[in-house]
Amino acid sequence: MANLCSNYLVFEGNQKTIKTIHELFQHMKEREEKTGHGQLPEFLSDQCDYFFDLYWDDGEVGTYQYTTRWAPNTEVVKLIAMRCGADFTLEYEEMGCLVYGRTTFINGIMRDICLENEDFDAYLWDEEEDTYRFEGKTYYSQWEILDTLLERRWAQAAPDPIADRSDP
């Protein structure tokens, strides 16, 4: 059985664009419920990075949670965004394979940062105390540590040309 990667996806765009994307996700969810199989948009039938267990909060449009096999389906999400004219942020994690990262797609530029093995080695789990130790502090969950490490990687990565552009 494949390890499941959890994905949290937020699309950004005008109201019509987000409505179009939501209809696409609604259609995929309905097909998955009927077939019991992962889904792709019909225009991407040649891809293999399926969406599984799609869901979103009632009344929420443009924000989706789902699983994929082993790793995020970043390229598929990018193709959806490009077709619909949207931007997105995708946060993902699959701790069995030490996958934890974030992808943004803004104005046609994709940026993906994922933690490295050394990041996971930067903290320790204390089995007796059921806590984590990181930089001299105790944590009851690894998620705050992972978020901190990801933010550091994000800040160290090549600058985002859109975010760092200053108006004259």
Are 106 and 120 in the same domain? no
Same domain, 94 and 125: no
In a domain, 168, yes or no: no
Tally the domains of the chain. 2
Report how far apart, in Å, the C-alpha atoms of 129 and of each of 23, 125, 146 are. 47, 9, 19
pLDDT(167) > 60: no
CA dist 48 → 28, 74, 86, 157, 160 (Å): 14, 12, 22, 29, 29
109 and 72 assigned to the same domain: yes
Cα 18 from chain centroid (whole Å): 17
Structural domain including 84 reads 4-114
What is the pLDDT, as a whole number, of residue 116?
A: 96
Same domain, 93 and 133: no
Work out the burial of residue 42: count CB atoms within 10 Å of its CB; fewer than 13 is exposed, 13-18 middle, 19 or more buried. Answer: exposed
Is residue 144 domain-shared with residue 63, that is, in the same domain?
no
Whether 149 and 75 map to the same domain: the answer is: no
Q: Is residue 51 part of a domain?
A: yes
Is residue 153 a part of any domain in this protein? Answer: yes
Instruction: Give the model confidence (pLDDT) of 124-166 as tens digits.
Output: 999 999 999 999 999 999 999 999 999 999 999 866 555 544 4
| Residue 31 lies inside a defined structural domain of this protein | yes
- In terms of Cβ atoms closer than 10 Å to its own Cβ (0-12, 13-18, 19+), residue 5 is buried
- Is residue 41 in a domain? yes
- pLDDT digits 0-9 by tens, 70-114: 999 999 999 999 999 999 999 999 999 999 999 999 999 999 999
CATH number at residue 98: 3.30.70.1270
Distance CA 40, CA 165 (A): 35
Smallest CA-to-CA distance from 24 within 58, 48, 5, 51 is with: 51
Strand residue runs (E) in 51-159: 52-55, 63-69, 87-94, 99-106, 109-114, 124-126, 131-134, 137-139
CB 21 within 8 A of CB 62: yes
Residue 168's pLDDT band (cuts 50, 70, 90)? very low
154 and 125 part of one domain: yes
Residue 130 token pair:
């059921």
Residue 83 belongs to a domain: yes
Q: Say what the pLDDT of residue 164 is.
A: 47
**Position 164 in a domain:** no
pLDDT in tens, 56-76: 998 888 999 999 999 999 999
| pLDDT-above-90 percentage for the chain | 83
Same domain, residue pair 35 and 105: yes
Q: Check whether residue 68 and residue 138 sit in a common domain.
A: no
Residue 106 CB neighbour total at 10 angstroms: 16
Residue type, 111: R
Say whether both 23 and 97 belong to one domain: yes
**65 plus 123 within the same structural domain:** no
